[in-house]
A and B are shown apart, each in its own frame.
Chain A
Amino acid sequence: MSSSPDFLHGLRTSPTRRTVLAAGLGVALAPSLRAAPARTLTVAAFPLVDQILRDAAPSWARRHPDVALDVVTRQYDDHHTAMTTALSTSVYLPDVMALESSFVGKFSLGGGLSDLLQPRYDIGRYRDRYVAYAYDQAVNRRGQVVAAPTDIGPGTLLYRKDMLERAGLAEADLQPSWDAYVDAGMKIRKATGANLIGNVKTLKDLMIRSGLEKGQGIYFDSDSNVLVDTPRFHRAFEIALRVRRNRLDGHLDTWSNEWAEAFRRGQTATELGGSWMVGQLANWVAPTTAGLWRAAQLPESSWVSYGGTYYAIPRDSDPANKALAWELIEMMTLDPARQLAALKTQDAFPALLAAQDDPFIGEPQAFLGGQRARLVWREAARRIAATAVHKQSNFAEDAVNAELDYVLDDGKDIRQALADAASLLELRAKR
């Protein structure tokens, strides 16, 4: 306290209104006087994406030494809640926001994000440089492009090669159909005691996303008709039930401690998800299982997009920073060097085609026992079709999950379960 400024001493001896006012004013002004960079570009992001942005800060500083890059990190859920709030009130909007792909669809409907087709951005001229489905995913119903893709999550099947071998199986035995995948699971269970999958919901999630025509939604079509009571969902529920009846799933919540521990202890033989799942397994879920895993295409030639990241510019953000915001997005999504850096450090699979053609894509991956798995994902990425997102998609996902719980836990009839989910959705479809 010996170094406290003079006005604080004044405050202690004679607390008059004026000194209190002066003190308050001084405290309020002090930080803004001290830190005075020419300009700041604010980017809101969630973990891993924030790291990719921070890694890019030196190259940004070389381009714009006078513009500080301020990366604001929040946890995944908090970030998207904060972005919803910021967009709803148009207050404290960042210049650039990172968005997970499902939120791009959700936010695209409200008009709170800038249309990147406007001449000042003109993302249309870069269309052919991005993976087709990733670009199409950001086009809303009015034809506007509300975000630029930076990384993608081509769906993939990860399996423990050692466990398959102990069961006398090979990769090809998992792939012909979802039924073959479950059959293989029974053999794996017999030979190793391991579960086929930690959470059977993941299997359902991948299955309902496959076989979609371009532009069709998962739960609703473009006229808001409910698509839940359809063969696509019936089949996914039937396969999930088959897995549960044969006790092949771990009954574990994805990302829970038990779910992760089952990977570490070799109690889970396969996992379905986006290609980013490899990074999660390698970095924190089960680093000790390195070398035992392999990646393959999903069963039944299912081409599925499962996660991905975009950058967007809020409509009402500071107009003076919009050009810089777009320049940052161009740098992050169109510069192959930056895209490859994100792949190398954070396993973010590039949405930029030029980066996908880099020799690094063909490099062996140690966690996958030296497999060149990125070539598998690149093939998948080029076959995936964009799906339309309905504003009730999040609710639909939860309603379908709850009905799947009824089917798996209480033996509810699948037809009844899907009809019940459909009627819940119909009430909301046109809200």
Chain B
Amino acid sequence: MRLPAFLRLSPRWAPYVFISPFLLLFAVFSLFPLCFSLYLAFQSWEPTGGLRAMEFVGMSNFTFAIKDGWFWMSLRNTLWLALASGVPQHLVAIPLAAFIHTSFMRLRDGVMAIYFLPYITSTVAIAIMFRSLFSQDYGMINAALAGLFGMAHTDWLTNAQHIKPAIAFIVFWRYVGFNTVLYLAAMQTIPGELYEAATLDGASRWKQFLHITLPSIKPMIFFGVTLSVIGGLQLFEEPFILTGGKGGPQQAAMTSAVYLFREAFDFNDFGGASAMSWLLFVVVALLTWITNLAFRPRKGRA
């Protein structure tokens, strides 16, 4: 069936039409919120008064955010959690990937799937499950610690000193499998001859790991660490759900992302929250740049 001329797509426009679904969604759900939050960062807005209640206030949201003690506290919480959950992820994932790479032949995919499972599970389900695991009097973690080591019950979620390690553990548990998959993929691309030659030269497995495996997966380490830095600084769901959206004891589990949300929706300050989110963006960009400096392949070396 031939279509009438006005319904036919000219080759000149076809690419734009085909790419338009993405552009439309991107504009509505990414570009517009981005611009709107930049606009809001310079406004004072009592949201329940409607859109007309906005008032231009210049830089005062930014000066407020910089003076606000809780903004810095939430940033410190975020950095603590990013380090405590991020560093072990890679320290465990790299040896684990090497172990799986060399030791499991047929079972490799199955073993990987098990490690990868937490990553594809809904965060909400994970947080709810850990909430009951970490329960002070009726949780399995305390029951196990008491049974194995005779430890007294720990108030994991209601004590400021304990809630951070608890959250860091959940984040670690969740992403270690993802990182292992990254490293395993990188290791599979290393040519086997390198190891054969090294073995002939009498290099031990440890030396091989140190001088062949690690340098070869360096680009992947850069990629993995960058993802961890960005993800760690945007940490939201786990602390939000574990503390019922309230930040936990002494606000110890209030990450910057949780604080932004609360500043807007609990404390009705959309202008301040927008200013903070742009400041957080600067921090994330800065730390990503530093990661880049540390891991970037240098010129003149392969």
Contact = CB atoms under 8 A, between A and B. Distances in A.
B298 interface: no
Nearest to B155: A251
A88 B155 CA distance: 40
A409 B50 contact: no
B3 A17 contact: yes
A85 to B, nearest CB: 8
Contacts of A251: 136, 155, 158
A252 B67 CA distance: 33
A253 interface: yes
Given A253-B158, A394-B267, A431 B46 contact: no
Given A17-B7, A90-B50, A77 B245 contact: yes
B7 to A, nearest CB: 6
Contacts of A424: 68-70
B56 to A, nearest CB: 15
Nearest to B67: A427
B44 A112 contact: no
Nearest to B159: A409
Interface in A84-116: 84-85, 87-90, 106-107, 109-113
- A interface secondary structure, majority: helix
A392 interface: yes
A84 B267 CA distance: 11
A405 interface: yes
Interface string B152-169: 000101111100000000
Nearest to A393: B267
A11 B48 CA distance: 46
Contact of A112 (B7, B48, B272): B48
Contacts of B44: 431
Contacts of B53: 110-111
Interface residues of A, number: 44
A316 B46 CA distance: 16
Interface stretch (B103-111, B173-181, B247-255): B247-255
B120 interface: no
Nearest to B161: A409
A252 B46 contact: no
Contacts of B51: 88-90
Nearest to B137: A258
B50 A406 contact: no
Interface string A300-343: 00000000000000011000000000000000000000000000
Contacts of B294: none
B202 interface: no
Interface in A69-95: 77, 81, 83-85, 87-90
Interface in A3-23: 14, 16-17
Given A88-B51, A410-B250, 6 more contacts: A83-B48, A110-B48, A112-B48, A251-B155, A391-B46, A405-B249
Interface of A: 14, 16-17, 77, 81, 83-85, 87-90, 106-107, 109-113, 251-253, 257-258, 261, 315-316, 391-392, 394-395, 398-399, 402, 405-406, 409-410, 420, 423-424, 427-428, 431
8 contacts: A87-B50, A109-B49, A111-B49, A113-B48, A253-B158, A316-B50, A394-B268, A428-B64
Closest 10 CB pairs of A and B: A110-B48, A110-B49, A88-B47, A112-B48, A110-B46, A405-B250, A87-B48, A395-B267, A111-B49, A107-B48
